[in-house]
Amino acid sequence: MALTPEARALVDLASAGFPRLGTEVRDAAAARRMLAARPAAPATPVPVAHVADRRIPAGIRVREYRPLPCASSAKSTALPAVVFYHGGGFVICDLDSHDRWCRTMANAIGAVVISVEYRQAPEHRFPAAAEDAYAALHWTADHADELRVDPARIAVAGDSAGGNLATVAAQASRDRTGPRPAFQLLMYPMLDPACATPSYRDNADGYFTTAAHLRWFWDQYLSSPADRTDPRANPLRADLAALPPALVITAEHDPLRDEGETYARRLRAAGVPARTHRAPAMFHGFMTMAAHLREAAAANSLAFTTLRAALHPR
């Protein structure tokens, strides 16, 4: 199915001003400067009860969002929490790029959202981001009383490279006997450095995030051939038993589509409840564009409803 007309217009607009990563632009710092210089449409911030930037002991910057009181049915008790990892290929984007989405998620779920600004490549190569992801999850559970959250109701979530970090943090928690997340939301996750699935071939170009972009991102993050098979970078190589239930959302016209769906199948084969939703006629990154795409609004509704059910059990 072709992109919807609305999606095609957004893809063309976004692609026109996006750096040609891996071809014309190979320097990560230059790419960040180019992205920062792009004009942004003014947007009214989504109101939440409280926002605070913190520097946690591991040296990682996080942003705490507390939902509006009406967003939670448990006003007088500890709230659940979602530890969120932004996308950007381990190289670009930050707390601000996903600020609106995190605000929306906090209110929709009735949960505290902890958005994580992990160290980025190539200045900090693998496993820096993976270690930061686990450290932020551990900090959230350790500081549950201070954050007024329930340590038994903490989920991990992320989009693209952040989806990788979310599930890698869950794996690390299992393997290191750390805090056990209650759920994992993986939005078009970036999981396989091989970049060799049919969806890479079919969606290599013309859908905003290209195969060349993704290969360049992996080259910035990983240092050696051994890194490409390390489960902390390539979750498809991991033992997937005893991980939290998952919702994996993919997009039809995304090079990453197949690896996300393969990961969900392997979770199910390992005995982990895992649901997959493929958004037809959509592209990588579409879920942050709910103001313009009804398909994004629908996918967000699915994600938020699923997370709310997992974190507010009856």
Please say whether the beta carbons of 104 and 46 come within 8 A. yes
254 catalytically annotated: yes
Q: Which residues pair with 83 in a beta bridge?
A: 114, 156
With a CB cutoff of 8 Å and minimum separation 6, the contacts of 274 are 245, 246, 247, 248, 264, 265, 267, 268
With a CB cutoff of 8 Å and minimum separation 6, the contacts of 231 are 168, 171, 237, 238, 239
* Catalytic choice (94, 159, 192, 254): 254
Please say whether the beta carbons of 150 and 79 come within 8 A. yes
**Parallel, antiparallel, or unpaired: how do β-strands 61-66 and 112-117 relate?**
antiparallel
Q: How distant is the alpha carbon of residue 131 from its chain centre? A: 16
End-to-end CA distance of the chain: 39
* Catalytic choice (86, 150, 159, 160): 160
Amino acid at 176: R
| Tokens describing residue 70 | 């009406």
CA distance 291 to 162: 22
173 catalytically annotated: no
* Catalytic choice (86, 98, 138, 284): 284
**How does DSSP assign 186-216, residue by residue?**
EES----TT--SHHHHHTSSSSSS-HHHHHH
CA distance 304 to 108: 6
With a CB cutoff of 8 Å and minimum separation 6, the contacts of 177 are none
What are the strands, taking DSSP E only, across 118-177?
Answer: 149-159
Q: Of 243, 195, 199, 200, which is closest to residue 222 (Cα–Cα)?
A: 195
138 in helix, strand or coil? helix
160 catalytically annotated: yes
User: Which positions are annotated as active-site residues?
Assistant: 160, 254, 284
